[in-house]
Chains A and B, each alone.
Chain A
Amino acid sequence: MTRGENRVDRRTRGVLGLVAWLCGLAFFLPVAWMVLTSFHRETDAATNPPSLTAPLTLHGYREFFGAGGAGVSPWPPLINSLTASVASTLLVLVLAVPAAYALSIRPVRKWRDVLFFFLSTKMLPLVAGLLPIYLVAQNTRMLDSIWLLVILYTSMNLPIAVWMMRSFLAEVPVEILEAASLDGAGLPTTLLRIVAPVALPGLAATALISFIFSWNELLFARVLTGIVAGTSPVFLTGLVTSQGLFLAKVCAAATVVSLPVLVAGFAAQDKLVQGLSLGAVK
């Protein structure tokens, strides 16, 4: 019976939509709580039950940014994270785009084997190579250097980037490429005039995902940097002290350090699953 089915379906859909909203809010609640707490005074943040109506203040942020004079400035770690993430992302793109081209548009023989070699390096735990890298860095005086992180983050993200770019470049129509080749276009011209317009959204998504993984990284930065090249995640781990109240400041710090990733992640949202599944899911 059409009307009955429609009514039942409509009611079911309404209920399930409501459930979806509740799940969304439940998953978002910790983040909302982090942001709200970051705008509380320390005394208001450390109450039980927590106060939803406490006056808002920027005290947590002033504490974090060192205007209070007591803390270490977060600007060097933030700048280090930005430098390492942006530089490694650029290097990733420089290496990944030609490689992806060789694996999709003008594929080399055994291109699948090469692809899976790239993927297998992603599967290896970072911690397995940590000690030799530490020793080499020690001997070459590269410890506490931002450029060491750039190299390591590039190697960490290159497999994903190659896989993503290969799947994006595979969407370029073959006929257009053949026409360009007949007209005598060389590799640079082909890449610039024909491939780039089609692959640019994919390139942006790849860059954003590489940035996210670099910005998030802790283990390499924790072990291989000290005073000069420490990144934001490392800074966060040293933020909590045993003296006094710090919850508002910690929440402010967590919010500030997460902002670049949240922005990049939302911008890359549509391609996020493609990157995270290593190109297997579109």
Chain B
Amino acid sequence: MRTPRTERAANWARRAPLLPALVFLIAVTQLPFVATVVISFLRWNALAPDHRGFAALDNYRAVVTDPALRSSIATTVLLTVSVVLTSLLLGLGLALLLDRRFIGRGVVRTLLITPFLVVPVAAALLWKHALYNASYGLLNGVLTWVWRLFGAGDPPQPDWMTNSPLAAVALSLVWQWTPFMMLILLAGLQSRPADAVEAARMDGASAFGIFRHLTLPHLRRYLELAALLGTVYIVQNFDAVFTITSGGLGTANLPYTIYQTFYQAHDYGRASAQGVVVVLCSLLVANFALRTVSSLLREEITR
């Protein structure tokens, strides 16, 4: 019979391999966040250290009432929702295309994955200078080509980043994140039971009927997962806003605004309050993402 002491030792032996990662992660992620919460209640600007003190909810009041901060919250929501929905729809279309056999499918898949593998800063520079530039960017170059094809000499040459700055940032992010959505949804499609599809086809079901009644229900959780994870990643985006527009022209999202408040304005209290707001918003989305992952995990265990 095992003694309580032996059992306790055995339990600790099981836990021991887990502890280094757990302690490390708590120290590097949870403690800084706790510190952020504490600082968010302080009046602390590094440029005026003698005025440091307790500020109660002043920083949060500033977050809620400051027009620039409200604007960056609205920008974050608008940017995130538009990018996630657009890349999700495009990703679904591409996943459906790749789910069929055709010559060169592997090559096409590799071509489609490439945007996601370009370093985000490099992708932003690429879009800003090689594609969007009003004088010699590829987009205006193509317009010039097309106009010349039809013999016209006055092609439209819009300044994309000045005319539609938020759309410019969004388009570069859609280009980078569509492959992510595609990969998740493609994995979902390939986990679809093939015999059910075959049986439906033999019963005379149309391609659209199969999609609507078999494929879409099966994909629902994968769509949810892709949307939620995409949201978590894109809410945190800093590189595209920083590089393409430097947060100007109404494109500053919360991560960029926090960076600016802390790094340039040196207002530590307000930057911390903004950080807490971002975390609370992310936790809302994360809660749903965790539930979706949990249900997929449960299915795996049952299988």
- The residues of A with any CB-CB pair to B shorter than 8 Å are 13-14, 16-17, 19-21, 23-25, 27-28, 30-31, 33-34, 37, 45-50, 95-96, 98-99, 101-103, 106-109, 112, 114-136, 151-152, 154-155, 158-159, 162, 167, 187, 212, 215-216, 218-219, 222-223, 232-233, 236-237, 239-240, 246-247, 250-251, 253-255, 257-258, 261-262, 265-266, 269, 272-273, 276-282
Contacts and interface: CB of A to CB of B under 8 A. Distances in A.
A233 B120 CA distance: 8
Given A24-B111, A27-B178, A114 B32 contact: no
Contacts of A47: 136
A129 B34 CA distance: 8
A281 B100 contact: no
B175 A237 contact: no
Given A119-B293, A155-B29, A127 B275 contact: yes
A280 B296 contact: yes
Contacts of A158: 21, 24-25
Given A120-B286, A159-B25, A278-B229, A130 B18 contact: no
Contacts of A48: 135-136, 140-141, 144, 157
A17 B135 CA distance: 36
Category for how many chain B residues contact A: 35 or more
B110 interface: yes
Pairs of residues from A and B, 4 with the lowest C-beta to C-beta distance, nearest first: A17-B102, A98-B17, A129-B32, A123-B286
A273 B184 contact: yes
24 contacts: A20-B97, A23-B112, A46-B136, A49-B141, A102-B17, A103-B18, A116-B290, A125-B235, A128-B32, A129-B35, A130-B258, A151-B28, A216-B121, A239-B125, A247-B136, A250-B130, A253-B125, A254-B118, A269-B113, A276-B180, A276-B183, A276-B184, A277-B226, A277-B293
A32 B11 CA distance: 56
Contact of B126 (A30, A99, A124): A30
Given A127-B278, A223-B263, A281-B184, A233 B119 contact: yes
Chain B binding site: helix, strand, loop or mixed by DSSP?
helix
A154 B24 contact: yes
Most chain B CB within 10 A, of A28, A123, A167, is at: A123
Contact of B114 (A96, A119, A262): A262
A108 B22 CA distance: 13
Given A131-B39, A155-B24, A13 B102 contact: yes
Interface of B: 11, 14-18, 20-22, 24-25, 28-33, 35-36, 39, 93-94, 97-98, 100-105, 107-123, 125-127, 129-131, 133, 135-136, 138, 140-142, 144-145, 148, 157, 175, 178-180, 183-184, 186-188, 191, 222, 225-226, 229, 232, 235-236, 238-239, 242-243, 254-255, 258-259, 262-263, 268, 271-272, 275-276, 278-279, 282-283, 285-286, 289-290, 292-294, 296-297, 300
